[in-house]
Chain A
Amino acid sequence: MNNYYEYKIKNGDTLSGIIQSMFGCVRNDTRYAETVKHLLALNPQIKNLDRIRSGDMLRLGVLPSTPPPTARIAKTAHPGHIKTPTFITQAVHPSDSDNFWALAWLEHNANYLTIPGGIAMGASGNLLSPGNVNLINEVSDHYADFKSDRITKSQYDYRRKLALDKLKTNIGPFEKMMFGKNTTHQSIRIARSGGVPATAHIAKHADRLKNIAAISKSGGIVLAGVGLTAACMQIASATDAQEKNEIFVETITSTGVGVGLGFAVGLFLISNPIGWGAAIVLAVGSTATSYGLGKFTRFVYTQSGTKIDLVSGAGVNRLCQ
């Protein structure tokens, strides 16, 4: 954990004022030069401490072998306009520090998780669409027809082969993910030994797909949570209302368009089995479209010059702070 404060320099702040309020020493104090040296070491981005600018961040660390600054501040006459800065990491318990830094990373890199994750979850969800899963159930239905003498053995074999050929073509390279080391035809077969019901293998794989579906569903919830949390953190750390609103409109649009695309794809997939290529194209297309339209909404918001404060209006600034 870094041992420093982050202080945002305000209009009217001077270096001597900050040092006086935070470290309790004035210019003619013997420790003043030592404090300046210490601050320069903590802030390598600042070449000249006499030329600090409003809005810059200044790291203020505890001087070696001195009492904590808060103790000094309590005894020092406060310049009034300088408030005690928030020590971000002070409020974080040491046991939570890993989570704290993970969230800090997430704030800036959420797209690296949500975009590929969204594509993977979308593709697996599309592959497990009703059309494909029904092909597996068809085998079971054909077997029931065969056992009740509605079709002959060769008719059953032929229909089973047709359904499984189609499924194999549809899932393509995802066959291993779904059926492990066996092929589709080896996996979806009638059990002829082992004292289990004839459709035991089919039921087992239907259950397996059910589990993959559940994982996709949970993954979708986690990704949605990750995306919204990151957006909330970005809004919280944005420096002005304009930037907060830009992030807000981008997030709302991406989420809304993503949900709309899910609705549209759902209407389509309900009766159309699709192949693995189409599953990936749909997932990539959905993710790219919601991302792109989010960016475009931000662009439109910026270009329009509107001053409508959606973040405050929707109460998001109270939620994300």
Chain B
Amino acid sequence: MMRLPWKRTDRGRGSQTSEFEEQALPLLPSLYNLAYWLSRNAADAEDLVQETFLKALRGFATFEPGTNFKAWIFRILRNTYLTSRSGLAAKRTVSWEDEWGEHSEPGPTPYPEGAIDRQTPEMNLIRMGDRAALQNAMEQLPPPLLEVILLCDVEEMKYKEIAMALDIPIGTVMSRIARARASIRRALEVEVEAAREVNL
């Protein structure tokens, strides 16, 4: 339900806090999971989520009821991460935006045929439910690819919501997801090859 801006300011502090709690607290496990994947340790993940919640609470008066709260709060988490110690460190070591040579226009990114793996021994690993191998492969992803695959596959967010949360065009979401999956497949292949060599 849309509320007019001057009516939104009528929300009392108490009711605003409880409204915020109702919407934000169920997302705590999801936000923490993403925060941990990005920051790679529990203490930083807690700090990140805590800061996200406080920023979101402070800015809750500006949130338009009826719009996508999940995308909104994930965007705050992502921006908080980018300015955090671990986020800045990651930014120094991996390239984030244009260096990826991404197409910002919507629509499919043409890939050379060789980029698509048509022999997929790594599927054996997936079939066996080798969670550890997959998690290893995901850990190797740079943050821009990791966050997009987590939002898509774990949080089951639509491309439009991911674009909103990450503040990037839908075309970029699309190409990053394809890149992330290709990277995971490659990493799994490497694991399969390594296992084969050990067995030989």
A and B from one assembly? no
